Structure 1
Amino acid sequence: MAKSIRSKHRRKMRNVKRQFYAKKDLEKLKKVVSHSSVLDELVTTRTVKDLKVEQDSNKHEGTTMDVDKPVVSYNNKTKQNEHGHYPDWMNQRAVKKHKAKLARSKKKVGKKIKW
């Protein structure tokens, strides 16, 4: 494609902008470098081996989470608990579909041969 005046002007302005921001970035970098000595005192560095040892020691403590709700057991076949309620995550459509599936499975008795 041909180099239009418009694209040349845009390129020129981008270079001007880049030079302007380069000065600001250089000042920011110098400021960060001057503060790096202060940051080195604040930050403590640790090796990966030390972190792994800490994690292993935490695993062996055997802490368990405190759970507010009691664990409710559901029958795998009927998906109902001991009171006949379905789980909270099942919506009415899923309950209806599951009931129909259970009814179909109860209906199948097998072939009866008449003599």
Structure 2
Amino acid sequence: MKRLLLLALIAQPAFSADCLFYKELNRGGTPLEQNSNQNSAYQLATAWNDQISSVWVKDGFYAVLFDNPKFQVSKVLYLYGSGLSFSKNVWDRTSGTAVNGGTGFNLDGLGYNKVTSSVLCLKD
């Protein structure tokens, strides 16, 4: 029983970050953490470029994912901690799963799997 509880605690997102980006679906692996107080867009390093498959966003915040470096927009995705996503002028409430005070998103179902080159994390 103690092992099960320990595993459950380890699998939870870190509450110190406002946005967490993962290379695996279902928030698998070690996340790239970003807080909204950085007030700047984040161009992904080579190790993370075109590697993000899932995202967790804290309630009250949102993440903006760009498919091009330097935030050039050909394709952009907005993910909200309240569970909303917005892409191609369509709002979607079914793509996220409530997890620990935020929402987890798998990007494969949103047509955005492993294409992200730069990100923003902002207070809603």
Q: Could you say which TM-score interval applies, normalised by the shorter chain?
A: under 0.3
Q: TM-score, normalised by structure 1?
A: 0.19
Bigger RCO (CA 8 Å, 6+ sep) = 2
Question: Which is richer in helix?
Answer: 1
Instruction: Tell me the TM-score normalized by structure 2.
Output: 0.18
Name the structure where strand makes up a greater proportion of residues. Answer: 2
